[in-house]
Amino acid sequence: MAQRYGGQFSPDGKQGTPAPKRGAYRGASVDPAGARANLLFVPPAILVLTSVFGGAVQLALGLVGGAVLALAAWLLRDGLRAEAAFHARKVARPPGFPRKMAASALTGIGTAIAALSGDPSIIAAGLYGIAATGLHVAAFGIDPLRGKGVEGIDTFQQDRVARAVDEAEKYLSAMSDAILRARDRQLESRVATFQQTARDMFRTVENDPRDLSAARRYLTVYLMGARDATIKFADIYARDRDPQARADYETLLDDLERNFADRTQKMLDDDRSDLTVEIEVLRERLDREGVHLARDI
């Protein structure tokens, strides 16, 4: 039997365009510790290998120099990631430990030790070390030394927010690790979408630490539950690929994402309301002082 066509643009279909879904890679970024940082692990490996065929002194200097250079490369990767996190936030304090500058210094020391293994001249080794340090700084720069957006913010409250966000990030990281066991790219993308929505709340709380009380339950209880549910689902789905378990898990993520987005929007609306109240209070005080402002300012 013929059936009447129905759809979005049919006469009795739904009108309008549905709200676009947020992409799984919205907010994604390239790992700041890219190829050029990872290439710095090659020189210490070459140094150690070439030192094996020398004498005892050359071997010892090669091992020590290689270890120092490897430590410098490891610190540089962490420093680049910390710097990227610093620039990604509107309100941030400089890293507690200057990893990039420490990596530059260690690169110079490691290069000087490596030079000593082939040339006993201390002056030449020092010049090589200074040159390596300068080139490292020129290539990768130094760590952020000053905070941004922290003027007028209570440092105690900011520390509380930082601890809460760090704990919440651990829950998100555990979710990412668990969902990999499901071996399903679509689910991995779905979890990434929810994580970005949660991080929107993190950034909102970081910008205004007063919102921490309203978001505390989301950063702890809800994310802890999402982590536990993801771990249990991944174990079940990896074993028998149950479609009902998958549907239930996706529904859970939809509910969580909607609640996080609504809570974030409410915090933003409350912040705008607080600003409006503060402006009106300031206007009243100025009026009492005899200073009259145009109402459209």
Residues listed for the chain: 297
Q: Which two tokens mark 168?
A: 């919440």
Cα gap 76→238, rounded to integer Å: 37
CA 126, chain centre distance (Å): 38
Cα gap 103→36, rounded to integer Å: 14
Q: Which two tokens mark 131?
A: 């040159």
Q: For residue 266, how many other CB atoms are within 10 A of its CB?
A: 12
Give pLDDT, residue 93. Answer: 73
Asked if 140 and 104 touch (Cβ cutoff 8 Å), the reply is yes
How many C-alpha atoms does 193 have within 13 Å on its Cβ side?
17
pLDDT at residue 8 tops 70: no
Give pLDDT, residue 67. Answer: 95
Q: For residue 92, how many other CB atoms are within 10 A of its CB?
A: 19
| Cβ-Cβ contacts under 8 Å for 278 (sequence gap 6 or more) | none
More confident residue, 143 or 8: 143
Q: Which two tokens mark 62?
A: 């090669």
In this prediction, residues 2-24 reach a mean pLDDT of 45
Give pLDDT tens digits for 210-224.
Answer: 788 888 889 989 999
Give pLDDT tens digits for 151-162.
Answer: 656 566 777 888
Give pLDDT, residue 274. Answer: 53
Q: Which two tokens mark 35?
A: 């190829």
pLDDT band at 286 (very low <50, low <70, confident <90, very high): low
Report the DSSP beta bridge partners of residue 148. 92
Gyration radius of the chain's alpha carbons: 28
- Cβ burial, residue 82 (10 Å; 0-12/13-18/19+): buried
Q: Which two tokens mark 160?
A: 């509380």
Give pLDDT tens digits for 71-129.
Answer: 999 999 999 988 887 887 766 778 888 999 999 999 999 999 999 988 788 999 999 99
Which of 263, 275, 254 has the alpha carbon at shortest distance from 215? 263
pLDDT at residue 166 tops 80: yes
| Cβ-Cβ contacts under 8 Å for 94 (sequence gap 6 or more) | 86, 143, 144, 145, 146, 147
pLDDT band at 12 (very low <50, low <70, confident <90, very high): very low
Asked if 83 and 100 touch (Cβ cutoff 8 Å), the reply is yes
Alpha-carbon torsion (196, 82, 228, 190), positive or negative = positive
Place of tokens 């120099």: 65
